[in-house]
Structure 1
């Protein structure tokens, strides 16, 4: 199977790889905990998900794994998703301001 990478190139889908697009359309991913993450356009972040009930933000980084940030209000998540630079927003408002754990 061939998928399109985030950078527009084509690559073969391999078991365990992180496909970014199917027929050119981003598709959601699920964490082990079942949280749905959506792919984002970022040089540092692959995907972001949010669970409103628990106020948990889940971020998959390009090279450092998957992290969950706790007690993140929905308006912060919405601002993150609207930010032109997801990495800068995370560094400025989330990574040092909310408790977190590495989950993957």
Structure 2
């Protein structure tokens, strides 16, 4: 799985595991989170400019774990 840089005030990069539907987000403060069972359309929305404003609330509704 590759991380893709994102144009955002908060998000530095995002990645998605299509097998497990796990979304990976690295924030600009250096922390990385895994979000579980996230639909692919939310990952695709993260690749747009300033994505957290649009999909941040939706993504935070999924179970997650801080990994770094």
Q: TM-score range by the shorter chain?
A: 0.7 to 0.9
Q: Corresponding residue for 2:39?
A: 73
Deviations 1:1-47 (A, max 9, x none): xxxxxxxxxxxxxxxxxxxxxxxxxxxxxxxxxx3101111111110
CA–CA separation in structure 1 for the residues paired with 2:12 and 2:19:
23
Q: Corresponding residue for 2:50?
A: 85
* Residue 90 (structure 1) shift: 3.9
Give every structure 1 segment of 4 or more consecutive aligned residues whose post-TM-superposition deviation is greater than 3 Å: none
Q: Which structure's relative contact order is higher, taking Cα pairs within 8 Å and 6+ residues apart?
A: 2
Structure 1 residue runs of 5 or longer lacking an equivalent are 1-34
CA–CA separation in structure 1 for the residues paired with 2:44 and 2:4:
13
Deviations 1:33-66 (A, max 9, x none): xx31011111111100001100000000011500
* Residue 102 (structure 1) shift: 0.3
CA–CA separation in structure 1 for the residues paired with 2:30 and 2:2:
19
TM-score, normalized by length of structure 2?
0.85
Give the aligned length: 68
Return the index of the structure with the highest Cα Rg. Answer: 1
Structure 2 residue runs of 5 or longer lacking an equivalent are none
TM-score, normalized by length of structure 1?
0.59
